[in-house]
């Protein structure tokens, strides 16, 4: 009994008198929290679900056969509760970004109903030319959704068909999916002489048999839906690529890979002959692809990289890849301080994002710079980042393969990014082109601390339960709008600290998960309802906003 009333204290010195009080006090009245867990689709009770209640002490229990739970011995008040069970999503998992947990009030003694949303499943069978099951075929399930205001496609775990050609992917949230199958990593039939053409294999296709995403059919997954996807594939000619690689040292190995236009590794490998500098791929389907070669000097750790885009319509010989050292991009950060806050000496102290003062140590980094490569459909490519610290006299992002990158600067603490440039390229608006092999121009970043603060009040319309404030920069139209404070309709004011001075459009919406606010065409519909704000350095501005309802 009594241990349940003690708050979760860890290594705290409790005065003896207080403890004695707790011990000898007459037990105060306790309350219960109870409720039922139900399947959001069928309304049926869900047994064996884990319900957790967050109080001074965290409590947990499994629901009984009737889906009911009851926590006893609680003080009066409101407690957050969550529920989970394999095969289901909780409402918080489905509504991202700040959906609040359900509250249960013990004083009211009213049971709560907690909903679990059943998962979606995609399963099926892949067959070949003669109806035979195709085993070991890669199957990718793409989830198209809006995240952070942008339409994105997220790749589920890669699965492969089993010996019976069957695949299965569970744990799908409700939404729109695309199914991509193949290509087979190995041909289905071979020519009499393997060095000559004539091998056939199965190409990669989108359900229901489309060569690309634009002509593919989506699969709508509603809660609890089990979608059967069967595909019958037709074999096509497969081809081999061979050629040479140059630019690697005597003790250096070379790793080679074939990647499809959508970023999927294809084929069963590339054989590289170190002594001769020659390579030959295994069989791959026709179409656009990239062959890459990577090497690392074991002594200096300097990486080299080469890639060649190919459009394969026949066997290709004499493809040449010349390895060039990967780029080293110096990063220079200048912090312009204007504030003389009491107790804050910007040379030795800095305030952290939590608002507290933080000692400025040699490890202190004013910003982290991230290079994000162009996204492929199927491959999360490596990002390159560097925290610029006082310890590193020549901060640089190293071993970056050539390509097109978007640059993200994440300041630690309140300063905002005033500018980020590479030569004449404004990196806040444009992509960075990393050239092969060459030395690259430094990334020059200016941070300032003369940020402005925006305060305001909100007017909720009927049916709007919560609001999210979206900040659209009017100075840099290509910058992705930022979503900011999330509020429920019981709160009517907001504050956005640390905004860079400039022109903004501020919009409050009630359903940001559905709004592709990173897309200017989508935002245009609502932008008339946004408020224009001009912020000067160190200004504290005030506005009034109406919460815009995002329609179905």
Q: Is 100 in the site for another protein (CB under 8 A)?
A: no
- Of residues 113-142, which lie at the interface with another protein (CB under 8 A)? 119, 121, 132
Q: Is 552 in the site for another protein (CB under 8 A)?
A: no
What's the burial of 388, exposed, middle or buried (CB within 10 Å: 0-12/13-18/19+)? buried
Measure the CA–CA gap between 101 and 79, rounded to whole angstroms: 9
What's the burial of 335, exposed, middle or buried (CB within 10 Å: 0-12/13-18/19+)? middle
Measure the CA–CA gap between 533 and 413, rounded to whole angstroms: 23
Q: Is 394 in the site for another protein (CB under 8 A)?
A: no
Closest CA to 52 of 43, 44, 61: 61
Q: Is 59 in the site for another protein (CB under 8 A)?
A: yes
| One character per residue 272-301, x = contact with another protein (rule: CB under 8 A) | -x-xx---x-x-------------------
* Residue from the set 271, 313, 374, 538 that interacts with another protein by CB under 8 A: 271
Q: Is 60 in the site for another protein (CB under 8 A)?
A: yes
Contacts of 374 (CB under 8 A, 6+ apart): 381, 403, 404, 405, 406, 431
* Residue from the set 86, 100, 497, 537 that interacts with another protein by CB under 8 A: 86
Q: How near is the Cβ of 274 to another protein at its closest, in Å?
A: 9
Q: Is 11 in the site for another protein (CB under 8 A)?
A: yes
DSSP code of residue 77: S
Peptide bond into 208 cis (omega under 30): yes
Q: How near is the Cβ of 399 to another protein at its closest, in Å?
A: 23
Q: How near is the Cβ of 219 to another protein at its closest, in Å?
A: 17
CA distances from 360 to 357, 365, 412 (A): 9, 9, 12
What's the burial of 9, exposed, middle or buried (CB within 10 Å: 0-12/13-18/19+)? exposed
Q: Is 497 in the site for another protein (CB under 8 A)?
A: no
Cβ-based nearer residue to another protein, 185 or 262: 185
Q: How near is the Cβ of 78 to another protein at its closest, in Å?
A: 21
Q: How near is the Cβ of 311 to another protein at its closest, in Å?
A: 24
Q: Is 192 in the site for another protein (CB under 8 A)?
A: yes
Q: Is 195 in the site for another protein (CB under 8 A)?
A: yes
Q: Which stretch binds another protein (CB under 8 A): 12-20, 473-481, 492-500, 513-521?
A: 12-20
Measure the CA–CA gap between 145 and 153, rounded to whole angstroms: 6
* Residue from the set 41, 45, 50, 335 that interacts with another protein by CB under 8 A: 50
Q: How near is the Cβ of 138 to another protein at its closest, in Å?
A: 15
Cβ-based nearer residue to another protein, 76 or 278: 278
Measure the CA–CA gap between 260 and 264, rounded to whole angstroms: 5
Q: How far is CA 430 from the centre of its chain?
A: 21
Q: Is 435 in the site for another protein (CB under 8 A)?
A: no
- Assess contact for 337 and 449: CB atoms under 8 A: yes
Q: How near is the Cβ of 144 to another protein at its closest, in Å?
A: 22
Residue with tokens 């929290």: 33
Q: Is 309 in the site for another protein (CB under 8 A)?
A: no
Cβ-based nearer residue to another protein, 8 or 524: 8
Name the strand (E) or helix (H) holding 139.
Answer: strand 138-147
* Residue from the set 73, 211, 269, 423 that interacts with another protein by CB under 8 A: 269
Angle 428-431-437 from CA coordinates, rounded to 5° = 130
Q: Is 194 in the site for another protein (CB under 8 A)?
A: yes
| One character per residue 18-47, x = contact with another protein (rule: CB under 8 A) | -x---------------------------x
Name the strand (E) or helix (H) holding 23.
Answer: helix 16-24
Q: How near is the Cβ of 229 to another protein at its closest, in Å?
A: 16
* Residue from the set 28, 43, 193, 300 that interacts with another protein by CB under 8 A: 193
Cβ-based nearer residue to another protein, 62 or 527: 62
* Residue from the set 25, 32, 44, 48 that interacts with another protein by CB under 8 A: 48
Compute, in degrees rounded to 10, the torsion defined by CA atoms 316, 320, 323, 326. -60
* Residue from the set 150, 168, 492, 540 that interacts with another protein by CB under 8 A: 168
Cβ-based nearer residue to another protein, 67 or 501: 67
Q: Is 1 in the site for another protein (CB under 8 A)?
A: no
**C-alpha radius of gyration, the chain, whole number:** 29
| Three-state DSSP class for residue 427 | coil
CA distances from 375 to 195, 255, 264, 427 (A): 35, 22, 12, 17
Return the beta strands (E) in 222-345 as ranges: 226-228, 231-232, 236-239, 241-246, 254-260, 270-273, 278-281, 284-285, 287-296, 303-312, 316-322, 324-325, 327-336
Applying CB under 8 A, the residues found at the interface with another protein are 3, 6, 8-16, 19, 47-48, 50, 57-62, 85-87, 119, 121, 132, 162-163, 168, 170-171, 186, 189-195, 268-271, 273, 275-276, 280, 282
């Amino acid at each position: 009994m009594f241990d349940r009333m003690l708050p979760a204290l860890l290594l705290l010195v409790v005065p003896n008198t207080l403890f004695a009080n707790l011990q000898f006090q007459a037990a105060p009245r306790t309350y219960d929290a109870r409720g039922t867990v139900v399947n959001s689709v069928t309304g049926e009770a869900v047994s064996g679900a884990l319900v957790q209640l967050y109080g001074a002490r965290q409590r947990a229990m499994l629901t009984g056969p009737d889906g009911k739970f009851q926590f006893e011995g609680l003080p009066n008040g409101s407690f957050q509760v969550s529920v989970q069970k394999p095969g289901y999503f909780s409402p918080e998992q489905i509504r991202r970004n700040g959906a609040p947990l359900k509250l249960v009030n013990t004083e009211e003694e009213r049971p709560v109903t907690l909903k679990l949303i059943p998962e979606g499943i995609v399963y099926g069978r892949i067959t070949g030319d003669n109806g035979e099951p195709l085993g070991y075929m890669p199957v990718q399930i793409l989830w198209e959704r809006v995240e952070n205001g942008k339409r994105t496609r997220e790749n589920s775990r890669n699965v492969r068909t089993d010996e019976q050609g069957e695949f299965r992917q569970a744990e799908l949230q409700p939404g729109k999916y695309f199914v991509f199958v193949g290509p087979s990593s190995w041909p289905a039939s071979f020519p009499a002489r393997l060095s000559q053409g004539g091998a056939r294999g199965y190409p990669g296709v989108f359900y229901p048999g489309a060569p690309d995403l634009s002509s593919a059919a989506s699969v709508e997954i509603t809660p609890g839906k089990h979608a059967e996807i069967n595909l019958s594939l037709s074999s096509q000619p497969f081809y081999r690529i061979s050629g040479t690689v140059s630019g690697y040292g005597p003790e250096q190995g070379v790793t080679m890979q074939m990647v499809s236009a959508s970023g999927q590794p294809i084929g069963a490998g590339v054989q590289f002959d170190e002594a001769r500098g020659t390579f030959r791929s295994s069989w791959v389907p026709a179409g656009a692809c990239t062959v890459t070669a990577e090497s690392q000097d074991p002594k200096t750790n300097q990486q080299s990289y080469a890639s060649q885009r190919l459009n394969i319509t026949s066997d290709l010989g004499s493809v040449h890849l010349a390895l060039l050292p990967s780029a080293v991009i110096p990063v220079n950060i200048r912090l312009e301080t204007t504030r003389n806050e009491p107790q804050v000496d910007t040379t030795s102290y800095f305030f952290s994002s939590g608002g507290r003062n933080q000692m400025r140590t040699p490890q202190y980094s004013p910003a982290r710079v991230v290079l994000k490569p162009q996204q492929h459909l199927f491959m999360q490519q490596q990002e390159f980042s560097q925290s610029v610290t006082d310890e590193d006299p020549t901060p640089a992002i190293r071993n970056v393969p050539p390509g097109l990158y978007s640059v993200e600067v994440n300041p630690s603490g309140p300063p905002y990014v005033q500018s980020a440039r590479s030569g004449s390229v404004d990196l806040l608006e444009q992509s960075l082109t990393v050239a092969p092999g060459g030395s690259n121009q430094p990334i020059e970043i200016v941070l300032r601390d003369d940020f402005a603060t925006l305060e305001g009040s909100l007017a909720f319309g009927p049916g709007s339960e919560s609001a999210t404030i979206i900040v659209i920069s009017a100075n840099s139209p290509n910058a992705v709008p930022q979503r900011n404070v999330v509020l429920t309709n019981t709160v009517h004011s907001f504050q956005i600290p640390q905004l860079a001075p400039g022109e903004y459009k501020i919009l409050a919406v009630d359903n940001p998960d559905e709004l592709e606010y990173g897309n200017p065409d989508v935002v245009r519909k609502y932008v008339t309802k946004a408020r224009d704000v001009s912020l000067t350095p160190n200004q504290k501005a005030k506005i009034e906003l109406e919460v815009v309802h995002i329609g179905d």
